[in-house]
Amino acid sequence: MTATYGVLLHDVQLGKNVSALLTERVSGAYALRGHETWEDYRQAAMEAAREGEAYVEPKVLWNWSAIHKKFNRLLPHCLFGVECGDQVQGFMLTESDKHRCRLPDQDRKAIVYIQSVQTAPWNDIRLGGKRRYRGVGLVMLSAAIAQSRELGFKGRIGLHAIGSAESFYERHGLACLGVDADCNGYKYYEGSTAWADDFGR
Amino acid sequence: MNVRPGSTSKKTMTLNLTDAEMTALEQLCVDRDMSKTAILRQALRLYQLIDERVKAGEKVFFGDDLDKEKKELVVL
């Protein structure tokens, strides 16, 4: 069942926080709308790049509409979206059945695992454009912690980070447990209950 | 930040368990550091996931690194 919550994003142009809407278990129409808007932007950016504008293709391109179709019926998976200015600003897929904690003091305990998370291409400065909104990553981390608490996992979360996102998770205090050879060599990060309690304070 | 996913309204039900089932549930609570409700909700998520995949024609197996033999889990 879909549910929505008020959150804040930072509008870079206005220089202030603005209201946004976080949706838990987004609909198929929502996922498709987000995917199509992002794809239109990407195509236009690639076209502009041929004319000399700055644009770098993201390393990973997820089709969030296809992700929704694949996982939407399954209880362990949850697709979140955050909307602002009538556009989808970010997506996150979590799962709560397959992964276990790896930190020694919470080894093998249940965890909310962030399977994939992405901000809209116009918010990703790595792609070369001017960022419209900041804070999507923080909203999604907060959502994963809240989901973990609600499921009885006491705020514990984990994820594998693509190289360019490592600094974001390190900046926000997630513990890095090193390179995971079983996951394309990506680094694995985990947040403990204590970390979750401190997060956002 | 006002983020409270999962806090949508919930339905309450009464669950009757045998002593053995309650003992197993309580042991899982200790092992997993989770409440009884959280354990049972997690069990439901897993059961639904397995059921969906079996209905889609997949099979579930148990195995380990030493014993290469795999044993199929039959989901009733």
Q: What is the pLDDT of residues A123-178, one digit of tens each?
A: 987 777 678 999 999 999 999 999 999 999 999 999 999 888 999 999 999 999 99
Which residues of chain A make contact with B34, given a CB cutoff of 8 A?
109-110, 152-153
Contact between B5 and A22 using a beta-carbon 8 Å cutoff: yes
Contact between B34 and A153 using a beta-carbon 8 Å cutoff: yes
Q: In this predicted structure, what is the pLDDT of residue A138?
A: 95
Percent of all residues in chain A with a pLDDT value above 70, rounded to a whole number = 99
Which residues of chain B make contact with A3, given a CB cutoff of 8 A?
5, 7-8
Q: Is the pLDDT of residue A14 over 90?
A: yes
Tokens coding A132? 């419209």
Tokens coding A167? 């600094």
Q: What is the pLDDT of residues B37-70, one digit of tens each?
A: 999 999 999 999 999 989 999 888 888 877 777 8
The mean pLDDT of A53-78, rounded to a whole number, is: 88
Least confident of A60-64, A81-85, B45-49: A60-64
Percent of all residues in chain A with a pLDDT value above 90, rounded to a whole number = 75
Q: Is B42 on the interface with A (CB under 8 A)?
A: yes
Q: Is B57 on the interface with A (CB under 8 A)?
A: no
Which residues of chain B make contact with A74, given a CB cutoff of 8 A?
45, 48-49, 52
Tokens 């195509």 -> residue: A43
Which residues of chain A make contact with B32, given a CB cutoff of 8 A?
109-110
A4 min Cα distance to partner chain B (Å): 8
CA A80, CA A100: separation in Å to the nearest integer? 21
B37 min Cα distance to partner chain A (Å): 8
Q: In this predicted structure, what is the pLDDT of residue B8?
A: 66
Which residues of chain B make contact with A80, given a CB cutoff of 8 A?
5
The four Cα atoms A115, A120, A126, A128 give a dihedral, to 10 degrees, of 160
Q: In this predicted structure, what is the pLDDT of residue A49?
A: 80
Which secondary-structure segment (H or E) carries A46?
helix A28-50
CB atoms within 10 A of CB A184: 9
CA A188, CA A161: separation in Å to the nearest integer? 6
The mean pLDDT of A28-35, rounded to a whole number, is: 97
Handedness of CA A13, A18, A24, A28 (dihedral sign): negative
Residues of B47-73 as b/e, b for ≥16 C-beta within 10 angstroms?
eebeeeeeeeeeeeeeeeeeeeeeeee
pTM to 2 decimals? 0.88
CB atoms within 10 A of CB A129: 18
Measured between CA atoms, the residue of chain B closest to residue A112 is B42
B47: helix, strand or coil? helix
Bridge-based pairing state of the strands B71-73 and A133-134 = unpaired
Q: Is A107 on the interface with B (CB under 8 A)?
A: no
Question: Which has the higher per-residue pLDDT, A131 or A64?
Answer: A64
- What letter does residue A186 receive in the DSSP assignment? P
Tokens coding B46? 């897993």
Q: In this predicted structure, what is the pLDDT of residue A70?
A: 94
The four Cα atoms A156, A76, A64, A162 give a dihedral, to 10 degrees, of 30
